Amino acid sequence: MSKVELDECATKTIIEPFRIRSVEPIRFTDMGERRQLLSDAGYNPFLLKAGDVLIDLLTDSGTGAMSADQWSGMVASDESYAGSSSYYRLEEAVHDITGFKHLIPTHQGRAAENILFTTIAGEGDVVPNNTHFDTTRAHVEHAGAEARDMIIKEGKKPSSRHPFKGNMDIEQLEQTIDEVGRERIPVIMLTVTNNSGGGQPVSMANVKAVSEIAHRHDIPLFIDACRFAENAWFIKQREEGYADKSPKEIAGELFSYADGCTMSAKKDGMANIGGFLALNSDELAKECRNLEILTEGFPTYGGMAGYDMEAVARGLYEALNEDYLRYRVRSIAYLGDQLRNAGVPIVEPTGGHAVYIDAKKMLPHIPPLQYPAWAFNNALYLLGGIRGVEIGSVMFGRQPDGSEKPANMELVRLAFPRRVYTQSHVDYLSEIIIAAYQQRDKLSGYEIVDSPEVLRHFSAELQPLD
Ligand code: F0G
């Protein structure tokens, strides 16, 4: 027998850690067609038909591909109204990963927010967060309370390369508690990763520090856990002492500093729908369940079918898989690298679920209240059929009193659905984005011609300015 001695080959390409066994065609359109489609949609990409979009990066929420294991669990689900075994499977997974005692399933993240804030927040209260996501802010305000963002200063600077730009400003938190008084702060939230600030992670040290302050003042700490697995991966990569720990161990430690979490299972639950509220307090759980029955459903299914709960119970573990997380975070960084090399200003470093383009820096000729990020996002659709989302003054500019204030940043978020697109899709994306960037001087701003009072970005109609 001949003996073949080969040197092991170190590869630098991080491949998709899956094979594709079911495909969904995407439709190609030309620019003339897209011009008409965008105008028909009131220049609001939310109002486009998905079939008219080539690469859809509107959101990573509920848009991922499920695994064969998830689908098989769904077929074998228990659809009993009360006491379904699928509920108990989800409860076991949530308990195993987060350590929280009570599970309150909901149809998605915002339903968990609704139950939490309606139950614990009221008129005159203040809810601190590193940065509230738009639905979180809307629910805090709907409960009559004030949503206050207190991100560290590096988190507001797109070009800063701080490794944990999602961290909360501890000093500002302490000052807020002193100023407002403990009794007017029903909960402190931490959003991991910080979606509205660039998908940036929160460090374990910061979670610990916030937890210490919260508990010293007897205030509960809740985690907005939508992207908890991506956050755990960043801690593993960037924070001293965590390199040898598994993402599950890291996530478990992070949750151990908190009293509960809200979760959209449409993100790191790897499911197309679902969410939950999980918490330790027996008393609060009882109150929340009363509202859950009213607004979502019986406590052992909440807003989910048995098969959704099966998908989430499996998805939570798949999101913590190291090969998956390595590929996930690398796919985002890969696009970021190509854009940076071509001079396109992006939020640095790239985050966990999306690349964020800094439209304020790219388009200084378009003032914030003419919505530069909206303009660039629409240019990407026109040029290449790509749909991203504006995270800027259309989303955040309208104040509760009806006035307009420019947002901190004007970003175009290109969020990657989980396990959906391949490297060649990303190569195409970077070609289109760079082409749009090279023609940036030709872009003009927008004005809003019709908009609802809350969450206006979803349905507002706009028109381009000359
Ligand atoms: N919290 C964060 C940080 C989110 O990113 C989202 C949703 C929610 C809460 C609400 O969850 O959609 O299940 O009700 N973010 C999606 C996005 C919509 O596109 O970023 P939901």
CA of 264 from ligand 1 middle (Å) equals 6
> Residue 59 CA: which ligand 1 atom is closest?
19
Domain that holds residue 424: 31-60+321-464
Residues 181 and 330 in one domain: no
Q: Does 325 score more than 70 pLDDT?
A: yes
211 band by pLDDT with thresholds 50, 70 and 90: very high
Residues 51 and 108 in one domain: no
CA of 376 from ligand 1 middle (Å) equals 22
- The pLDDT assigned to 454 comes to 78
- Residue 17, in any domain of the structure: no
Query: Region 238-265: what's the mean pLDDT?
Result: 98
Higher-confidence position of 401 and 130:
130
Does ligand 1 lie within 6 Å of residue 266's CB atom?
yes
Using CA positions, which residue lies closest to atom 1 of ligand 1?
133
- The pLDDT assigned to 134 comes to 87
- Residue 386, in any domain of the structure: yes
- The pLDDT assigned to 396 comes to 86
Residues 350 and 245 in one domain: no
Using CA positions, which residue lies closest to atom 15 of ligand 1?
61
The number of domains in the chain is 2
Q: Does 1 score more than 80 pLDDT?
A: no
- Residue 262, in any domain of the structure: yes
pLDDT in tens, 351-376: 999 999 999 999 999 999 999 999 99
- The pLDDT assigned to 2 comes to 67
> Residue 108 CA: which ligand 1 atom is closest?
13
Residues 252 and 357 in one domain: no
Residues 43 and 103 in one domain: no
Out of 318, 340, 370, a domain closes at 318
Residue among 195, 202, 356 whose CB has most ligand 1 atoms within 8 A, to mutate: 195
The identity of residue 196, as a single letter, is S
Out of 318, 336, 358, a domain closes at 318
Does ligand 1 lie within 6 Å of residue 74's CB atom?
no
CA of 370 from ligand 1 middle (Å) equals 25
Predicted TM-score (pTM) of the model is 0.95
- Would you give the DSSP letter of residue 3? P
Residue among 133, 261, 268 whose CB has most ligand 1 atoms within 8 A, to mutate: 133
326 band by pLDDT with thresholds 50, 70 and 90: very high
- Residue 11, in any domain of the structure: no
Q: Does 122 score more than 70 pLDDT?
A: yes
pLDDT in tens, 35-46: 999 999 999 999
Residues 280 and 402 in one domain: no
CA of 439 from ligand 1 middle (Å) equals 32
Residues 357 and 217 in one domain: no
Does ligand 1 lie within 6 Å of residue 354's CB atom?
no
Does ligand 1 lie within 6 Å of residue 320's CB atom?
no
Mean pLDDT of the chain: 96
Using CA positions, which residue lies closest to atom 11 of ligand 1?
109
Out of 276, 294, 318, a domain closes at 318
Q: Which of 31-40, 303-312, 389-398, 416-425 has the lowest mean pLDDT?
A: 389-398
Q: Does 63 score more than 80 pLDDT?
A: yes
Does ligand 1 lie within 6 Å of residue 63's CB atom?
no
198 band by pLDDT with thresholds 50, 70 and 90: confident
466 band by pLDDT with thresholds 50, 70 and 90: confident
Does ligand 1 lie within 6 Å of residue 109's CB atom?
yes
CA of 295 from ligand 1 middle (Å) equals 19
Report d(CA 250, CA 82) in Å as an integer: 33
CA of 135 from ligand 1 middle (Å) equals 7
Does ligand 1 lie within 6 Å of residue 191's CB atom?
yes
Q: Does 121 score more than 90 pLDDT?
A: yes
- The pLDDT assigned to 103 comes to 98
Q: Does 289 score more than 90 pLDDT?
A: yes
Residue among 226, 312, 389, 390 whose CB has most ligand 1 atoms within 8 A, to mutate: 226
Residues 310 and 388 in one domain: no
> Residue 60 CA: which ligand 1 atom is closest?
19
- The pLDDT assigned to 341 comes to 97
- The pLDDT assigned to 398 comes to 87
CATH number of the domain enclosing 330 = 3.90.1150.10
- Residue 330, in any domain of the structure: yes
Residues 217 and 310 in one domain: yes
> Residue 194 CA: which ligand 1 atom is closest?
3
Residues 91 and 191 in one domain: yes
